[in-house]
């Protein structure tokens, strides 16, 4: 993956425990050994850092989606934007704005974003710094996969014999 920013000091960093700043970030990874987070102690409000992934071959997927876990705890949390490259420009597909958890120990939340059906897809995460150091944005377990089929709804018919209804 590629890690670039509008301010070189604002970066996505790997971590295995809690983030260095107090009152922000998770206790540790959602699952596994590491996660990445946007360290909001650096840069200026509104600066962006991009975590860009290699192109995914999605030719075998009829309805691709990107699924990931996020943790956005901190009073000054900015934005997390999921973007895809359309061949010319990066286009925002979905975003999360502001604090999404209220404590460091809160569970990670899962996000799913539909992708267009194509031979390949290139995605990146854009983290936008909030107003202070209590705005770390964390992501973990990013995967591109086939959208699971919607469970079939069954047609259930209930027959009620109105002669059997009592008062």
8 A C-beta contact, residue 128 and residue 81 = yes
Please tell me the distance from the alpha carbon of residue 64 to that of residue 148, in angstroms, as a whole number.
9
Q: Rounded to 5 degrees, what are φ and ψ at 61?
A: -110, 125
CA distance 135 to 152: 41
User: 């876990």: which residue's tokens?
Assistant: 69
**Eight-class DSSP state of 152:** P
Reduced to 3 states (helix: H, G, I; strand: E, B; else coil), residue 163 is: helix
pLDDT at 167: 36
pLDDT of the chain along its 167 residues, tens only?
A: 555 656 677 889 888 888 878 888 898 889 889 999 999 899 899 999 999 998 999 999 899 999 999 999 999 999 999 999 999 999 999 999 999 999 999 999 999 999 998 889 999 999 999 999 999 999 999 999 888 876 654 444 343 433 443 33
């Amino acid at each position: 993956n590629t890690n670039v920013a509008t301010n070189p000091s604002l970066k996505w960093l790997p971590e295995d425990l809690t983030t260095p700043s107090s009152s922000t970030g998770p206790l540790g990874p959602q699952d596994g050994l590491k996660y990445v987070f946007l360290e909001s102690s650096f840069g200026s409000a509104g600066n962006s850092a991009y975590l860009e992934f290699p192109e995914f071959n999605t030719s075998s997927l009829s309805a691709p989606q990107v699924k990931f876990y996020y943790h956005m705890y901190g009073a000054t949390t900015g934005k997390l934007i999921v973007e895809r490259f359309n061949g010319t420009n990066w286009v925002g597909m979905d975003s999360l704005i502001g604090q999404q958890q209220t404590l460091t120990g809160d569970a990670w939340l899962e996000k799913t974003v539909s992708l267009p059906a194509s031979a390949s897809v290139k995605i990146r995460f854009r983290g936008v710094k909030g107003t202070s150091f209590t705005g770390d944005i964390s992501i973990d377990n990013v995967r591109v996969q086939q959208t699971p089929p919607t469970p079939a709804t069954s047609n259930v018919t209930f027959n009620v014999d109105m002669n059997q209804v009592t008062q």
